[in-house]
Amino acid sequence: MAENVDQRPVGVRSEVGRLRTVLLHRPGPELRRLTPRNNDALLFDGIPWVSRARDEHDAFAAVLRARGVEVLHLEQLLIETLAQPTAAADAIDGVLTDLRLGDQLRRQLRDQLVQLGPEELSGVLIAGLRNDELRSTGLVSSLLAAEDFLIDPLPNLLFTRDSSVWVGDRVAITSLAMPARQRETQLTELIYAFHPRFESVPRLHGWAREHLEGGDVLALAPGVLAVGVGERTTPAGAERFARTVFDHGLAEQLLVVPIDQNRATMHLDTICTMVDVDAVVMYPNVADRLSAIPVRPGEGRELIIGERAPFLEAAATAMGIDRLRVIATGLDPVTAEREQWDDGNNTLAIEPRVAVAYERNVETNARLEAAGIEVITLAGSELGSGRGGPRCMSCPILRD
């Protein structure tokens, strides 16, 4: 494990090892920005009731704390980060690159942002800024509608899984594919670059690189990673990730898993998550046709590309086990489809055979229990409108 400045251990080498430290984001005013006109672009399937969403999220954090997990909040880390003038200056430069602003508005916006303290600045970076919230008299501002955003809100920051991912004792800053989420990783990059807690942690990848999202990355076993390639992580993102983890000696094998390019299966963790060292909960409607391409490091900069094989077989082989046990979402194809959509597959293991799951996925949870998995249920009626479950809403920083 890497020692960092204040001597707190970090590192993730498993999906199921006892969870010690996790990064969450408690949803706030950024969710109030969602309207029926912008929710599709902002990747929400409905308009969440904000205070209830916060209650549900607080219950999630409480469940984790009750099990001895240290919960870090992204907003708190961001505020502490922005207390450093260079970090605040970087953050402001980052939002001001937006080409919709124009020079005059950019100057006026800068004048306002530099006056903000860390807490207010963090608030604006997360909740965004509407045109009518800045007193500007310039051409651009007068032509934009009052409700147009000068800084887009980040309602999906809630899904901390995607905006950074720990691989061993390093952190990969990801590069998010959807325009509504791209700025999130400017914030995670800032936190990991400047926050004293992470000062000595080497950073991988980066927000300006090929698309790679944490929801696509699974740590199947020591030295064995899987990465989904679909709507979010691109083939080039997977290739860069393979090269990077091999160069840093963080894995010996990577399984690249092509997934359907659609919203229901946006990340690998929407169809498959691990609940034990040799068991996954998986969407049966894709389980049989899901395949994997094994990739290994070759000579020099080469990658050795293996033969495409059924995912479950390839995973078991790479993990050195006879068989990966599969617990299926739902019972029949229709229930499975409903529960997969409601993130029944998206469980967060907090130790082997103990997983956090949304309570609404009754059939899937019953099957998990029957398979010997303790299921800690969460209400998620509001949180779920962003199409993400307990795994999406958590970024493990330290696991046994």
**Nearest distance from C-beta of residue 386 to ligand ARG, angstroms:** 4
- In whole angstroms, the minimum distance from the beta carbon of 271 to ligand ARG comes to 10
Interaction residues for ligand ARG, span 278-307 (CB under 6 A): none
Nearer to ligand ARG, 104 or 381 (CB): 381
Q: Please pick, from the candidates 31, 64, 266, 292, the single residue that binds ligand ARG as defined by CB under 6 A.
A: 266
Choosing from 224, 392, 395, 398, the catalytic residue is 392
395 catalytic residue (yes or no): no
Closest to ligand ARG by CB, 233 or 317: 233
Residue whose CB is less far from ligand ARG, 48 or 118: 48
Residue 349's beta-bridge partner residues?
Answer: 355
Q: Kindly state whether residue 25 participates in binding ligand ARG, applying the rule CB under 6 A.
A: no
Closest separation between CB of residue 332 and ligand ARG, Å? 24
- Measured CA distances, 210 to 94, 97, 121, 182, 232 (Å): 18, 19, 28, 12, 10
Residue from 392, 395, 397, 398 in contact with ligand ARG (CB under 6 A): 392
41 by Cβ neighbours in 10 Å (0-12 / 13-18 / 19+) ranks as exposed
Task: Based on the shown chain and the rule CB under 6 A, indicate whether residue 276 belongs to the binding site for ligand ARG.
Answer: no
Two tokens at 166? 């720990």
> Of the two residues 269 and 382, which places its CB atom closer to ligand ARG in the complex?
269
In this structure, what token pair is assigned to residue 177?
């594919």
Q: Which is nearer to ligand ARG, 109 or 274 (CB)?
A: 274
* Only segment of 187-195, 238-246, 306-314, 384-392 that touches ligand ARG (CB under 6 A): 384-392
Query: DSSP state, 35?
Result: -
Determine the 3-state secondary structure of 168 from DSSP: strand
* Residue closer to ligand ARG (CB basis): 144 or 342: 342
- Give residues 341-380 in contact with ligand ARG (rule: CB under 6 A): 346
Query: DSSP string covering 118-187, please?
Result: HHHHHHHHHH-EEGGGS---SHHHHHS-TT-EEE---GGGG-HHHHEEEEBTEEEE-B-SSGGGTTHHHH
- Site size with ligand ARG, rule: CB under 6 A: 17
- Contact predicate 64/111, CB 8 Å: no
Q: Is residue 253 a contact partner of residue 318, using CB atoms and an 8 Å limit?
A: yes
* Site for ligand ARG contains 150 (CB under 6 A): no
Residue number with the smallest Cβ distance to ligand ARG: 215
- The answer to whether residue 172 forms part of the interface with ligand ARG (CB under 6 A) is no
Among 267, 360, 367, 399, binds ligand ARG (CB under 6 A): 267
For residue 379, what are its two tokens?
């209400």
**Residues 400, 394: Cα–Cα separation, whole Å:** 16
Of positions 60, 159, 207, 246, contacts ligand ARG by CB under 6 A: 159
Residue 260 φ then ψ, to 5°: -60, 140
Helix or strand or coil: residue 138?
coil
Q: Which of residues 317-346 bind ligand ARG (CB under 6 A)?
A: 346
- CA gap 394, 340 in Å, rounded: 18
Task: Choose which of 10, 12, 19, 43 interacts with ligand ARG (CB under 6 A).
Answer: 43
Q: How far apart are CA 212 and CA 227, in angstroms?
A: 9
7 exposure class (CB count in 10 Å sphere: 0-12, 13-18, 19+): exposed
274 binds ligand ARG (CB under 6 A): no
Question: What is the distance between the alpha carbons of residues 52 and 32, in angstroms, rounded to a whole number?
Answer: 12
Q: Is 314 in the site for ligand ARG (CB under 6 A)?
A: no
Strand, helix or coil for residue 159: coil
Q: Which of 13, 183, 387, 399 binds ligand ARG (CB under 6 A)?
A: 387
CA 6, CA 27: separation in Å to the nearest integer?
Answer: 28
Distance CA 217, CA 283 (A): 17
Q: Does 209 bind ligand ARG (CB under 6 A)?
A: no
Q: Which is nearest to 279 in space by CA: 157, 392, 372, 165? A: 372
Contact range with ligand ARG by CB under 6 A, out of 58-66, 126-134, 235-243, 381-389: 381-389
Q: Among all residues, which ones are annotated catalytic?
A: 392
Residues binding ligand ARG (CB under 6 A): 43, 156, 159, 161-162, 178, 181, 215, 266-267, 269-270, 346, 386-388, 392
